Structure formats: structure tokens, C-alpha cells
């Protein structure tokens, strides 16, 4: 059944319930009227009112009315004086006000022993001879003394609102529940969980939402297959490149021994390019392995000491550069020490490679709170265009300023950093500094078994 028919049937059910409820309430209110001349307890009420009026006049009558708001089940007694004012100031229903205007008179042709019809009983105060008329009204229906049900129009309106609200709630939950599941699944898929599926019961529906859920699952399966095949291709190609690279380097070493001095610069250039290609293949294989890993190792890692090792290696590799790092207090977490070291090393090396002025230091900071640790690497380089701050973490992506062949980057290091951070439950972000340069922050959660001592 399509969504149109489901919405149509829902509104028809709500309208049907409203109509049945309105007819029932109308029937109950119109077919059980409270007559002024015949109902249970009428004579007793009149006798008690008459006795109160005889004892103390109008004052005693008011006290009796105040103490007996409902002298009989479902009945309210209204007493009016000769001026038509109700003694307790209560409003008089419209149908009873018409009875007050009816005063039977004796026609000339009526027999002398015939008493006129008295629609409302009346009592006379023996002291003042003032006449009081008694009006019996049906007590309004209340719910725990709070809600009042005075008549048919409001009853019909309440039934219509309740029926529409219930049907709208059921319909909204029926329509929104699979949409919420689709939303969660799309976010999970966008975050990299390629095995995310909407699944039953959404896919078993026969309407448009069910078709959308089935199409989403088919799309997710296709995306997972494409990404898996691409990762497998990168892994296989990288693996196959290792063997010819090893043979090229062996042949290059033999050629360097046999060649004369005039050929050494060219052979040295070939050796550098072979080393760069070997490093690129290694990074591709590392990234492929990380992308096919669901969770890293969970060893206790001293994060402050790990960053210190990375900084020492950077100072040794780039002796003319300044790398500043002040080890803080001990910060430990559970994770993969090798992966974390590679992630931090890639960011520090990226800052060293693209920093044009070696006289300005590269700052490495570690800030630890109760639930997370933040590693910041700040440089004084050219920065990155604002529109490309998020794209620099994509594999093989290079900004316009970084395409200088004098630099050594391959565009994979920051992608490895991003994946390692995600596997540890954190995230990485980049921002341009106001004073110039780029800041990359790696945030890692400190779980219950990690600590910032």
C-alpha cells in the first residue's frame, strides 16, 4: 500500500471515530434530559428547601444551597428570587431561563377546579411572602474535578481533537521511524562504516519508504564492494611493486660500483627517486591496511614519551630546523603505539617540509584534560586556503602551493594520520593561524582505562 492510501485511510479512520463519538455523545445528552417534574429525589429536595426557607428565610436557604451543591446524583438546584437573580450568583442555563419566563395563567374558559401547569416548582417565604422558583439542572460532567463537559458542541470538538491527535501521532511515528533509521544509517555510512545497512523492518515495507530503504541498502552494498575492490587493488599493486623495486635497487648498487665518476650524479638521482617510490609504496600499503582494520591494538601507551621520540627523530632528520616541545605531566592511553607514532610523525614532518623559514620554530604541544588529550603542531608556513582545509587529509591531495617538486610529500601522510585517529575514536582538524602558518590538532579520547596523571 502506498503512502497516499495510508494517509487517506488514517484520516478516514479519524473522521469515522469523530463522527461515531459525536453521534454517541449527542444521543446521550439529548435522550436523557432532566425534567423539572419527574426525577428521583425531587420531592425530598423540595421538602428540604422548604424547611430551610421556613426556618431562617433566604439566609438559611442560601446556606443550604451552599452546603448541598448537588442535592441528588447528577443534579444541581438553582433558586431564583422574584427579580430572577440566582441566590448564589450562579449562571442559569439558557434552556432554564425560558422556563422562568413561563408563568401559567387561568383562561376564562377553564373549569374552576383545574390548576394550571407549573413547569417549575415555587416556594414562598412565610415572613416576607417573596416567591422563590426552583430550577433543576443536570450537573456538568467533570474529570477528577478539573475538566468540564458542559454540552454537545464542546464534546464533539474534544472527540475530534483527540481522535486527530492519536491518529496523527500513530501516522507520524509510522512514517518517521524508518526515516530516522535511514538518517542514522546515512551518517554512519558517511563516517566510513561501509557495512551499515537499514535492514528490517524498513526493507519489508511495501510503500515508497520501504523502496527507499531497499535502494539505500543496495547502494551501501555497491559502495562497499567498490571501496573494497579499490583497496584490494591498491594493496595488490603496492605489493607487486615491491619486488621490481628491490631488483632495481640491487641493479643500481651494481651500476654505481661499475660506473665512472661522470655517471655517479645520475645514478644518485635514480637512487633517490627509487627511495621515494619505495616510501610511497610503503605508505600506500600502510593506508590500505589501516582502512581494512576495525580497531587498533589496545596497549598502554605513554603519549608524552611517544611525542618526545617523534620530536627527537625530527631534530635528527632536520638538524637545521627548530622543533620546540616541552613534555607535560604523564599522559597515558590505550592504543597502538606504532600507529600513533606514525600519525604524529606525519604531521610534524609535514610542518618541517613546508616551513620556508628554518629560523622560526615548529611548536609541538600536548594538552590533557580529564577525558581527552590534544596534540597540536604549529608552523609558520604559508598555510592552506580555507576551502581546502578539510581536503588536505584526503589521500594524494595536494594544494597548489604544495606541488613544488622540491618538496618530499606524497599526499598520503595526513590521510594515514586521519585514519589512525579515527581508529582511536578521535578526530583531526586543521586551521590557519592568525599570525601566519598552519595548526593541526589531533584529539584523542582518554577512556576509562587511560589516564592523565
| Phi, psi for residue 329 in degrees, rounded to 5 | -65, 170
Q: Pick the last residue of a domain from 138, 154, 170.
A: 154
254-285: b (≥16 Cβ within 10 Å) or e: eeeeeeeeeeeeeeeebbeeeeeebebbebbb
220 and 123 inside one domain: no
Residues 87 and 131 in one domain: yes
> For the chain, what percent of residues have pLDDT higher than 70?
75
Largest CA distance in the chain: 156
Say which range, 9-13, 100-104, 148-152, 264-268, has the weakest mean pLDDT: 148-152
Cα–Cα dist 444/347, whole Å: 15
Q: What is the DSSP letter of 40?
A: T
Inside any domain, residue 159? no
239 is catalytic: yes
Q: Does residue 207 sit in helix, strand or coil?
A: coil
Residue 129: left (phi > 0), alpha (psi -120 to 50), or beta?
left
Query: Exposure of 332 by Cβ count < 10 A (0-12 exposed, 13-18 middle, 19+ buried)?
Result: buried
Q: Is 197 part of any domain?
A: no
For strand 141-143 and strand 299-302, is the pairing parallel, antiparallel, or unpaired?
Answer: unpaired
| pLDDT for residue 15 | 74
Within-domain flag for 172: no
Q: Is 187 within a domain? A: no
CB 432 within 8 A of CB 383: yes
At residue 95, does pLDDT exceed 80?
A: no
Q: Which of 251, 275, 290 is the last residue of a domain?
A: 290
- Going edge to edge, which strands form the sheet with 362-368? 323-325, 362-368, 372-378, 438-445, 427-432
Check whether residue 55 and residue 140 sit in a common domain: yes
Q: Which pLDDT score is estimated for 438?
A: 87
Whether 176 is covered by a domain: the verdict is no
The distance in angstroms from the start CA to the end CA of the chain is 61
User: Under the phi-then-psi rule, with left for phi > 0, alpha for psi from -120 to 50, and beta for the rest, what region is 74?
Assistant: left
Q: Could you tell me if 290 and 414 are in contact, meaning their C-beta atoms sit under 8 angstroms apart?
A: no
Cα torsion 382, 387, 389, 392 to 10°: value is -90
Residue 105 pLDDT > 50, yes or no? yes
Q: Which residues contact 96 (CB under 8 A, 6 or more apart)?
A: 78, 135, 137
Whether residue 420 sits in one domain with residue 284: no
- The last residue of one of the domains, among 256, 290, 324, is 290
Confidence band for 122, pLDDT divided at 50, 70 and 90: confident
Q: Would you place residue 274 in the very low, low, confident or very high pLDDT band (cuts 50, 70, 90)?
A: confident
> Residues 137, 276: one domain?
no
Which residue of the set 239, 405, 424, 427 is catalytic? 239
Q: Is 442 in contact with 421 (CB distance < 8 Å)?
A: yes
Quote the DSSP letter at residue 142. E
In a domain, 233, yes or no: yes
Q: How confident is the model at residue 147 (pLDDT cuts 50, 70, 90)?
A: very low
| CATH code of the domain containing 401 | 3.30.565.10
Q: Residues 320, 441: one domain?
A: yes
- Decide if pLDDT at 29 tops 80: no
Cα 408 from Cα 326, distance rounded (Å): 27
Within a domain: residue 78? yes
Name which of 385, 417, 380 is nearest 398 in CA terms: 385
Please tell me whether residues 300 and 218 are part of one structural domain: no
Q: How far is CA 202 from the centre of its chain?
A: 19
Alpha-helix runs per DSSP H in 138-263: 152-190, 208-258
- Asked if residue 377 and residue 271 are part of one domain, the reply reads no
Same domain flag for 248 and 140: no
- Provide the number of structural domains found in the chain: 3
pLDDT-derived band at 146 (thresholds 50, 70, 90) equals: very low
CA distances (Å), 223 to each of 46, 199, 363, in order? 87, 16, 40
Return the closest-CA partner of residue 135 out of 88, 175, 167: 88
Q: Encode pLDDT of 314-354 as tens digits.
A: 888 888 888 888 877 788 888 888 888 888 888 888 888 87
Same domain? 258 vs 303: no
| Backbone phi, psi, residue 326, to 5° | -110, 105
Q: Residue 415 and residue 287: Cα distance in Å, rounded? A: 7
Edge-first strand order for the sheet with 451-452 is: 299-302, 331-335, 451-452
Cell of 335: 592504543
DSSP assignment of 375-421, as one string? Answer: EEEE--S----GGGTTGGGSTT---GGG--TTS---S-HHHHHHHHH
Q: Rounded CA gap, 287 and 277, in Å?
A: 15
179-205 as b/e, with b when 16 or more CB fall inside 10 Å? Answer: eebbeebeeebeeeebebbbeeebbeb
Helix, strand, coil in percent for the chain, rounding step 5: 55, 15, 30
Return the pLDDT at 405.
43
- Mean pLDDT over residues 418-442, rounded? 85
CATH assignment at residue 224: 1.10.287.130
The DSSP call for residue 75 is E
25 falls in which pLDDT band (50, 70, 90)? low
Q: What is the pLDDT of residue 452?
A: 41
- CATH number, domain with residue 62: 3.30.450.160
C-alpha cell at 82: 422574584
Residue 215 is assigned to a structural domain of this protein: yes
- Preceding peptide of 28 cis, ω within 30°: no
Q: What are the cell numbers at 92?
A: 442559569
Structural domain harbouring 94: 9-105+114-154
- Residue 257 shares a structural domain with residue 300: no
Confidence band for 154, pLDDT divided at 50, 70 and 90: low
Query: What is the overall mean pLDDT for the chain?
Result: 76
Average pLDDT in the 218-224 region? 86
Same domain, yes or no: 258 and 325: no
Amino acid at each position: 500500500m502506498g503512502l497516499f492510501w495510508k494517509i487517506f485511510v488514517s484520516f478516514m479512520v479519524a473522521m469515522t471515530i469523530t463522527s461515531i463519538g459525536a453521534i454517541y455523545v449527542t444521543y446521550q445528552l439529548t435522550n436523557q434530559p432532566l425534567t423539572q417534574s419527574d426525577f428521583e429525589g425531587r420531592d425530598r429536595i423540595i421538602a428540604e428547601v422548604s424547611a430551610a426557607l421556613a426556618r431562617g428565610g433566604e439566609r438559611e436557604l442560601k446556606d443550604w444551597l451552599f452546603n448541598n451543591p448537588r442535592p441528588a446524583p447528577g443534579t444541581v438546584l438553582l433558586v431564583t428570587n422574584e427579580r430572577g437573580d440566582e441566590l448564589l450568583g450562579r449562571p442559569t442555563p439558557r434552556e432554564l431561563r425560558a422556563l422562568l419566563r413561563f408563568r401559567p395563567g387561568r383562561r376564562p374558559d377553564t373549569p374552576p377546579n383545574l390548576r394550571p401547569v407549573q413547569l417549575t416548582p415555587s416556594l414562598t417565604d412565610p415572613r416576607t411572602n417573596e416567591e422563590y422558583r426552583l430550577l433543576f439542572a443536570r450537573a456538568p460532567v467533570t474529570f477528577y474535578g478539573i475538566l468540564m463537559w458542559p454540552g454537545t458542541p464542546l464534546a464533539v470538538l474534544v472527540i475530534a481533537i483527540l481522535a486527530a491527535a492519536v491518529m496523527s501521532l500513530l501516522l507520524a511515528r509510522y512514517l518517521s521511524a524508518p526515516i530516522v533509521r535511514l538518517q542514522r544509517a546515512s551518517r554512519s555510512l558517511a563516517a566510513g562504516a561501509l557495512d551499515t545497512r537499514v535492514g528490517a523492518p524498513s526493507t519489508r515495507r511495501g510503500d515508497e519508504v520501504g523502496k527507499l530503504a531497499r535502494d539505500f541498502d543496495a547502494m551501501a552494498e555497491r559502495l562497499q564492494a567498490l571501496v573494497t575492490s579499490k583497496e584490494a587493488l591498491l594493496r595488490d599493486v603496492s605489493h607487486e611493486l615491491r619486488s621490481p623495486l628491490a631488483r632495481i635497487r640491487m641493479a643500481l648498487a651494481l651500476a654505481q660500483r661499475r660506473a665512472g665518476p661522470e655517471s655517479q650524479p645520475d645514478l644518485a638521482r635514480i637512487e633517490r627517486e627509487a627511495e621515494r617510490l619505495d616510501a610511497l609504496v610503503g605508505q600506500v600499503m600502510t593506508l590500505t591496511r589501516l582502512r581494512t582494520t576495525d580497531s587498533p591494538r589496545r596497549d598502554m601507551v605513554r603519549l608524552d614519551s611517544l611525542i618526545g621520540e617523534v620530536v627527537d627523530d625530527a631534530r635528527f632528520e632536520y638538524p637545521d630546523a627548530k622543533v620546540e616541545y616541552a613534555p607535560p605531566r604523564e599522559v597515558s592511553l590505550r592504543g597502538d603505539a606504532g600507529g600513533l607514532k606514525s600519525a604524529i610523525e606525519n604531521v610534524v614532518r609535514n610542518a618541517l617540509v613546508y616551513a620556508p623559514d628554518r629560523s622560526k620554530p615548529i611548536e609541538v604541544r600536548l594538552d590533557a584534560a580529564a577525558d581527552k588529550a590534544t596534540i597540536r603542531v604549529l608552523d609558520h608556513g604559508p598555510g592552506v586556503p580555507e576551502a581546502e582545509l578539510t581536503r588536505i587529509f584526503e589521500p594524494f591531495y595536494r594544494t597548489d602551493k604544495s606541488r613544488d617538486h622540491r618538496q618530499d610529500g606524497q599526499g598520503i601522510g595526513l590521510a594515514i594520520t586521519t585514519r589512525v585517529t579515527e581508529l582511536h575514536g578521535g578526530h583531526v582538524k586543521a586551521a590557519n593561524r592568525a599570525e601566519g602558518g598552519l595548526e593541526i590538532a589531533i584529539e584523542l579520547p582518554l577512556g576509562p582505562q587511560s589516564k592523565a596523571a
